[in-house]
Amino acid sequence: MIHKSMKTHWRVFLGLLSVAVLLALYTRISYKQHQENPDDTTIPTWTQLWEGVKQAVGKNPRSGERWLVEDSLASMKRLFLGLFYGIAGALVIGLLMGCFKTCEAFFAPPVLLLAKVPPTAALAVFFVMCKTEMNMFVAMIAFGVLPSMGQSIYLAVRDVPDEMLYKAATLGASRVEIIWNVIVRAILPKMLDAVRLQIGPAIVYLIAAEMIVGDVGFGYRIRLQMRLLNMSVVYPYIAVLAAFGFVLDYALRLVQRRSCPWYAGEHE
């Protein structure tokens, strides 16, 4: 049956099974590759991966730094600042476009146009305007998030039933009260969905920028180790990025369930 509900334990079992299949597949590919070339480093064995993890987590003998700690602090700061400014701008522009026709006419053309421009293609523009400091990474992420998320919020506002707005106005609510107490609360679950969908692209923009102009961060370290074919460090870094994205997405889902239980129940 399509859309038929599933028990939680079966869902967990199937999820773990899919991960186990991926790990088994990687183990098979790595084993076959090392049979042909025992010195291969492009598809490291689990032993080599463990050595890479220790290299990334342990203190570097030259600099005394822990790569993973330093790169995590730099990348996460850039990512969160970029997401903050991008989401805040998208919320303001999306609400204005959805609530007021004049704002829709003014903002719609540039938002639609900028949504089609890949931030990675405009990297040179960010480099010229913001140099290579923190502002460049933040601006690139915010620019990548704002147009598409602004459109999502705008469409969500347009879907709010007019009856809810008329009823609030009849009860004496002002424009600000209608926007905050009716519209924002009505679009909150869809807004959280839009944020979840922007996590992956935001990480892509960050890694792309760090690979080109970064001197610290996940993208910088992956580029450096990739040139040395030290994939035993690259793969753990990718795994950490994937785990971080998963945790952040799961946290947003929990917020959605707590704040909008009616919406989460309908979309389980």
143 and 216 inside one domain: yes
17 and 52 inside one domain: no
pLDDT tens-place string over residues 110-151: 998 888 888 888 878 888 787 767 888 898 899 989 999 999
Please tell me the predicted confidence (pLDDT) of residue 34: 86
pLDDT tens-place string over residues 109-118: 999 888 888 8
Nearest to 76 by CA among 239, 207, 195: 207
13 and 59 inside one domain: no
147 phi and psi angles, rounded to 5 deg: -60, -50
Asked if 165 and 159 touch (Cβ cutoff 8 Å), the reply is: no
Domain containing 16 equals: 1-39
Please return the burial class of 195, using the count of CB atoms within 10 Å of its CB with bins 0-12, 13-18 and 19+.
Answer: buried
Please tell me the predicted confidence (pLDDT) of residue 268: 54
Q: Mean pLDDT, the chain, as a whole number?
A: 87
Please return the burial class of 165, using the count of CB atoms within 10 Å of its CB with bins 0-12, 13-18 and 19+.
Answer: middle
- Report the distance separating Cα 193 and Cα 39, nearest Å: 45
Q: Map tokens 């030290």 to a residue.
A: 230
Tell me which H or E stretch contains 223.
helix 218-227
pLDDT tens-place string over residues 246-255: 999 999 999 8
pLDDT tens-place string over residues 75-114: 999 999 999 999 999 999 999 999 889 999 999 899 988 8
Which pair of tokens denotes residue 113? 């146009």
Q: Map tokens 């079992």 to a residue.
A: 13
**In the chain, what are the helix, strand and coil shares in percent, each to the nearest 5?**
80, 0, 20
35 and 47 inside one domain: no
4 and 117 inside one domain: no
50 and 152 inside one domain: yes
Q: Map tokens 């990025």 to a residue.
A: 241
20 and 135 inside one domain: no
19 and 129 inside one domain: no
45 and 25 inside one domain: no
Whether residue 166 is predicted with pLDDT greater than 70 in this model: the reply is yes
- Report the distance separating Cα 120 and Cα 143, nearest Å: 10
The CATH number for 176's domain is 1.10.3720.10
Which pair of tokens denotes residue 132? 């290579």
9 and 68 inside one domain: no
CA distances from 262 to 64, 74, 153, 197, 265 (A): 51, 38, 19, 20, 5
Return the axis-axis angle of helices 231-259 and 67-99, rounded to nearest 10°: 40
130 and 7 inside one domain: no
Please tell me the predicted confidence (pLDDT) of residue 264: 60
DSSP sequence for 33-46 = HHHH-TT--SS--H
Asked if 191 and 156 touch (Cβ cutoff 8 Å), the reply is: yes
Whether residue 49 is predicted with pLDDT greater than 90 in this model: the reply is no
31 and 45 inside one domain: no
Q: What is the mean pLDDT of residues 181-201?
A: 90
Whether residue 62 is predicted with pLDDT greater than 80 in this model: the reply is no
63 phi and psi angles, rounded to 5 deg: -95, -20
How would residue 153 be classed by pLDDT, with cut points 50, 70 and 90?
very high
CA distances from 235 to 49, 75, 129 (A): 8, 17, 33
Please tell me the predicted confidence (pLDDT) of residue 2: 62
> Number of folded domains in the chain?
2
Which pair of tokens denotes residue 246? 């998963």
